[in-house]
Amino acid sequence: MANFIETLPDGWTIYLWLIIGAMIIVAVIYWIRWGMKNEQFDEDIKYVMFDEQDREKMDPAEYAKSRTVIKAQIESRNRFLAKEAAKHKSAV
């Protein structure tokens, strides 16, 4: 193997770097696409950490937004669980 590498012409490493760079770009695009499909880029996710005890500390509009976000997250989780249950049911 070392003999093969020594017989390559000068400048071959740039092609190796280009191939590795292209692979990295493809992987990043894949993971961004996966994140978009799985609701990973939701800016409102920060509201999920609030609960009823935070009501008096929050602005009424923020509190209402947190309740809406939590309701949407619960619905999303139920959709996910239903999809997984259907997948497992069809596999059995």
- Which of 70, 84, 83 has its CA nearest to residue 42? 70
Choose from 24-33, 54-63, 69-78 the range with maximum mean pLDDT: 24-33
- Whether the predicted pLDDT of 5 surpasses 80: no
Based on the fold, state whether residues 35 and 48 are members of the same structural domain: no
Give how many domains the chain has, as a whole number.
2
Based on the fold, state whether residues 28 and 71 are members of the same structural domain: no
Based on the fold, state whether residues 74 and 63 are members of the same structural domain: yes
Is 2 a member of any domain?
A: no
Q: What is the mean pLDDT of residues 42-50?
A: 80
Distance between CA atoms of residues 47 and 89, nearest Å? 34
pTM: 0.58
pLDDT for the residue numbered 22 = 98
- Whether the predicted pLDDT of 11 surpasses 90: no
Q: How many CB atoms lie within 10 A of CB 2?
A: 6
Is 20 a member of any domain?
A: yes
pLDDT-derived band at 28 (thresholds 50, 70, 90) equals very high
pLDDT for the residue numbered 7 = 82
